[in-house]
Amino acid sequence: MKQRSNHIEVFVDGIEGILVGRQNSKIPFTSFGPDWDGDEENSERVLTVVVATDTLVGICLELLTRIAEEKDGLLTGLQQDATAFSEAVSHPLIQQLADQSKPKKSAKASEKVSSVVKAKRK
C-alpha cells in the first residue's frame, strides 16, 4: 500500500454537533484555546469531516465495541493518571502559590458579612 503524503492529524476537544444526512454526515470538530482579547476560553472549529452516513454508523459501532473491550484497561489507566496528577498538584510549592493568589479578606469585610447574615436570621 502506498504511503499518502496528505495525512492530517489534528487534536480536538469536542464536536459542535453532528449533522446527519441521508447519504452523508458532517462532524465539525472543535478545539479550545485562550481568547486573546479577554479572559475566557473560546471554542474554535478546527476540522469538519464529511463521511458517508452508513460509514459513520460503522465507525460509531467500532468505537463503542473497542471501548467495551478495553474498559478495564482504560479505567486502570485513568485511575493511575488521576493518582499521578493528584500527587503532582499536592506539592507544597503549589499550595503556597495557591494560598498567595487567593484574595485577602479584610477584617471590616468579614464583620460586614457577619452582620448581614445575623440580620437576615432575625
pTM score: 0.59
The number of domains in the chain is 1
Q: What's the rounded Cα separation, in Å, for the pair 66 and 63?
A: 5
- Classify residue 84: in a domain, yes or no: yes
Q: Which domain holds residue 46?
A: 14-100
Say which residue the cell 495557591 belongs to: 98
**3-class SS of residue 113:** helix
pLDDT at 26 (0 to 100): 97
Beta-sheet strands, E only, within the chain: 14-15, 19-20, 24-34, 41-52
- Classify residue 112: in a domain, yes or no: no
pLDDT at 82 (0 to 100): 95
- Classify residue 111: in a domain, yes or no: no
Q: Which residues pair with 115 in a beta bridge?
A: none
Q: Tens place of pLDDT for every residue, the chain, 122 residues?
A: 566 678 888 889 999 989 999 999 999 999 987 766 666 678 889 999 999 999 999 999 999 999 999 999 999 999 999 999 999 888 888 888 888 877 766 556 666 666 655 665 55
pLDDT at 39 (0 to 100): 63
